[in-house]
Structure 1
Amino acid sequence: MKNVAKATKYRTIQSLNNKSEKELFHDYAINKDLAIRNELVNRHLYIAEILSKKFVNKGIDYEDIYQVASVGLIYAIERFDLSKGFEFSSFATPTIIGEIKKHFRDKGWSIRVPRRIQELSKKINGAKTTLHQKLQRTPMIRDIAEYLDCTEEEVMEAMEASQVYTPKSLDLTYDNDGEDKDVQLMDLIGDTDKSFDLLENRDFLEKAMEKLNEVEKKVLKDRFFASKTQMQIAEEMNVSQMTVSRMEKKIIEKFRKELNKSL
């Protein structure tokens, strides 16, 4: 029986491997077969890998980011609608990035802190609880240092750094040196320039588009800026939809290479 089951599983995998991406998405939309979803995930894990690398050295381990990105990939597969006419990679990218940024908001440190400080900060929190029960009083810096076998300076450094883990409320007020009105923290913080991301993305697009010929530029603009379908573009160019599809994949591959260079 085991041999029969293995043979059946092997035939199923081979069958899925021979199917096109569109066929897999079509079949999955109908029966939600996990084997099909797994095949789709395996085929598109490179997207999660590429996007995860953009967030390395920002306070969270790459392995954690990649795991979150992989979950985002699964969400994208679940939500993808083949009938809309979009390429899956174009649909999946914002979904995955959204999951990664959400993870950073929920789990990340506000400022990049060395790993040794993060780990010591966690130990200090546990030491405080243990020592409070043992000493029946609030533990001093020297108590914690002795318990953790480290210096008092290291304990103080970790405790100060841990303040960036939990951001302070913007409603927090400070005395304004004798003035009638106290100053709120929100008044001391500058606004984020939302144009930074736009400029970065525009710069990447301009450099990537230099690698395209005039026909490819037209397809790119029509598909992703004018929201035209492949069929509409094919009719305008007097070519087949398959030709437009191949050109689109070629454009995405060129963009992917440029993205890898920028990481």
Structure 2
Amino acid sequence: MGRRISKKRSIPRDSFYADKSDKELFVMYSENRDIDIRNELINRNIYIVEILSKKFLNKGIEYEDIYQVASLGLIYAIERFDVTKGFEFSSFATPTIIGEIKKYFRDKGWSIRVPRRIQELSKKVNTASVHLQQQLHRVPKVEDIAEYLGCTQEEVLEAIDASYVYKPKSLDLSYDNDGDDKDIQLMDLVGSEDKSFKAIENKDFLERAMSKLNEVELKIIKDRFFGNKTQMAIANELGVSQMTVSRIEKKVLSKLKKEYEKIIY
């Protein structure tokens, strides 16, 4: 969460600003953006953070984290507030703070990071499913939901798949094994990566990348990383300086790195 704002010890109040009204402070802050004025405004309005943070207790995220997010929301509200519009600051700050808290829940509540677009669509799919089930008197099909939301069936399926990662499942979760006395645990159904596939991919990449090197570059790389030779030993064999070998080695490694990044991204 970065730098935390303490609930127990507020920012010291400057006596120069203590007798000023909130409106006067906001006018002054809009003119000079003095950090001491902002601190005074935070002190006076931190109660809003405490009240709103408590509304989100026992929802799966620690209160301390919620409080910090709400405090940042308060700062955003102070920065954006325009006293000339005639609104009460508390009325302006409340939706700003709640918005920051909900955004945090939306991002942190998923066990695996899912694109915001999919998160939003997943909520719409769930709402549409309930509505359509009541309307159609049956479980809605994917095409029903897609037509109702005005999106493709592929998008609906993607959102449904994503909803399964909102909360993680325990690997000790057991399933009935259809007549067998022994239940199957989720850990028995989870596949693992075959390391040989990775080795094949790496070998294929190296062969293709090495084929693009000239004779000197190829010798340096092979001797350095497969023959365990020092740069000095290779330099003596080639009749060049160690610095030349070092420069060529760095150039080749940089070239290989760029080629590998093309595959990953």
- Structure 1 length-normalised TM: 0.41
- Structure 2 length-normalised TM: 0.40
The answer to which structure has the higher helix fraction is: 1
RCO greater where, 1 or 2, for CA within 8 Å and sep 6 or more?
Answer: 1
Bigger-Rg structure (1/2)? 2
